[in-house]
């Protein structure tokens, strides 16, 4: 099977030849090219070369065109702060409640910053063809305001200013839809819809159903391709019955929740993506890595509906090459169907 066939089979709740695995590597491309993280993300060509080399080395079942989380607010004109050994982070919040009425989203295809991602996606499509899925990324309209406004101000907006909250959701949804569809048009196979604020780690399910759930249903319906909803390490067990109604097909799950129970709750309506602990992974030995992979496969892979990956959606800079190679070897050893 090709990687794309393998992934489509498992999403169809059937068993492919082996368990598909995604190594969601964004920063590690800089290591492969001997570049600083800032220099690496400055050119689409760098990310293309990095993704190409990473898949040649680790053999995982996707290309990942994610640059860094605050690239979206950078397109709005906000500051991004670079680190030498970690992901770029958002600078100071740039939006107040009073400024929402005059907020204008960037035009995706006119943004030099976002165009880098689109160009890298198009280059990767040339080598992926229809054999390897290309995963594009957007931050959900509901989660983006944490970077736009700051956490405290955004929570106050949700609870105290519903009209301004709705206005902000409209603006962000317009941007999210345009951004998603531009990536799909450039060659992405699917969109990872990052929505950590909807996780029950952050807000209760009752509030999610009134806010993030409604936003997801309206937004995902206008994305012209399949989506995976990812809570970036946040819990989602009690949402498993709600998520299929948003139109998403895959859910990124936390290492803090029971994978066997998550698989049961998915009830063949969702494919699980996860759930290796990306923080603890920094200290795993080769033997421990293989044991973790084997355990995850035993818990969730039977009958399809499972893609092995980290639990956060981005593998940290500190993860060693030997650990990533151990994941590859463990999948090859334990992930062939029929599972023993």
pLDDT digits (tens, 9 = 90+) for 93-107: 999 999 999 999 999
Q: Is residue 32 in some structural domain?
A: yes
Query: How much of the chain is helix, strand and coil, in % rounded to 5?
Result: 50, 10, 40
CA distance linking residue 267 with residue 19, whole number of Å: 18
Per DSSP, the three-state class of 205 is helix
Q: Is residue 19 in some structural domain?
A: yes
Parent domain of 35: 3-334
**Cis ω for the linkage preceding 338 (within 30 of 0):** yes
CA distance linking residue 254 with residue 311, whole number of Å: 5
Q: Is residue 130 in some structural domain?
A: yes
User: Quick one: tokens of 206?
Assistant: 């009752």
Give the pLDDT confidence of 79-88 residue by residue, as tens digits. Answer: 999 999 999 9
Nearest to 247, CA basis, from 172, 191, 176, 312: 191
- Helix axis angle, 44-58 to 112-128, nearest 10°: 40
Q: Is residue 340 in some structural domain?
A: no
Nearest to 94, CA basis, from 113, 70, 77, 107: 77
Give the pLDDT confidence of 202-242 residue by residue, as tens digits. Answer: 999 999 999 999 999 999 999 999 999 999 999 999 999 99
Q: Is residue 339 in some structural domain?
A: no
Q: Is residue 203 in some structural domain?
A: yes
In angstroms, the Cα distances linking 95 to 60, 147, 249, 329 are: 39, 9, 33, 47
CA distance linking residue 72 with residue 144, whole number of Å: 8
Nearest to 298, CA basis, from 328, 252, 270, 258: 258
Number of domains in the chain: 1
In angstroms, the Cα distances linking 283 to 21, 223, 316 are: 20, 38, 12
Mark the ranges of the chain whose per-residue pLDDT is less than 70.
Answer: 340
Q: Is residue 150 in some structural domain?
A: yes
CATH code where residue 148 lies: 3.20.20.210
pLDDT at 339: 72
The neighbour count for residue 229, using CB atoms within 10 Å, is 26
pLDDT at 69: 96
pLDDT at 340: 58
Is residue 329 within 8 A of residue 291, CB to CB? The reply is no
């Amino acid at each position: 099977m090709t990687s794309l066939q393998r992934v489509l089979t498992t999403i169809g709740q059937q068993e492919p030849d082996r368990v598909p695995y995604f190594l969601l590597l964004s920063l590690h491309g800089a290591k492969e090219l001997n570049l600083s993280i800032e220099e690496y993300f400055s050119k689409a060509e760098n990310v293309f070369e990095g993704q190409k080399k990473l898949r040649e080395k680790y053999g995982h079942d996707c290309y990942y065109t994610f640059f860094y989380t605050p690239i979206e607010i950078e397109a709005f004109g906000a500051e991004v702060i670079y680190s030498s050994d970690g992901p770029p982070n958002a600078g100071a919040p740039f939006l107040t409640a009073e400024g929402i009425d005059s907020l204008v989203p960037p035009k995706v295809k006119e943004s030099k910053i976002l165009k880098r991602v689109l160009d890298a996606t198009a280059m990767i499509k040339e080598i992926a063809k229809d054999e390897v899925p290309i995963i594009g990324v957007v931050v959900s309209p509901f989660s983006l305001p944490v970077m736009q406004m700051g956490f405290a101000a955004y929570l106050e907006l949700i609870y105290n200013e519903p009209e301004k909250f709705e206005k902000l959701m409209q603006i962000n949804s317009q941007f999210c839809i345009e951004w998603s569809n531009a990536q799909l048009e450039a060659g992405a196979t699917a969109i990872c819809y990052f929505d950590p604020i909807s996780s029950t780690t952050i807000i209760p399910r009752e509030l999610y159903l009134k806010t993030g759930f409604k936003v997801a249903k309206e937004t995902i319906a206008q994305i012209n391709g399949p989506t995976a909803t990812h809570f970036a390490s946040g819990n989602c067990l009690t949402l498993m019955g709600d998520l299929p109604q948003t139109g998403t097909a895959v859910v990124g799950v936390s290492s803090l929740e029971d994978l066997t129970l998550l698989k049961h709750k998915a009830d063949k309506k969702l494919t699980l993506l996860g759930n290796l602990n990306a923080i603890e992974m920094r200290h795993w030995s080769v033997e421990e890595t293989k044991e973790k992979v084997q355990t995850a496969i035993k818990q969730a892979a039977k009958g399809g509906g499972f893609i092995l990956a980290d639990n956060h959606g981005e593998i940290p800079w500190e993860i060693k090459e030997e650990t990533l190679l151990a994941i590859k070897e463990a999948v090859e050893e334990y992930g062939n169907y029929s599972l023993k």
